[in-house]
Structure 1
Amino acid sequence: MARTPSARKTSPAKKTATKKAPRPRKQTQPRPALASPFDLRGGLPTRTTTWMTDLQGYATLAALIAGITTPTIQAWHDHHDGTTTRTLNDGTHLHYTLTTRTLSWQTLCPMGAVHEYVLRNPADTDAAQADAESCTSPHWTPPPTNTGTHLAARLQTAHKAAADTQPMSIREIADGITARADTEAPKEHPQP
Structure 2
Amino acid sequence: MARTPSTRTKNTATAKKTAPKKAPRTRKTTPPPLTLVNPPRPRLTRRPTHWMTDLQGYATLAARLAGITTPHIQAWQDHQDGTTTRPLDDGSHLHYTQATRTLRWHTPCPMGAVHEYVLRTPADTDTAQADVADCTRLHWTPPPNNTGTHLTARLQAAVKAAADTQPMSIREIADGITARADNDQPKGHPQP
Q: Whose radius of gyration is greater, 1 or 2?
A: 2
Question: What TM-score do you get using the length of structure 2 for normalisation?
Answer: 0.49
More helix by percentage: 2
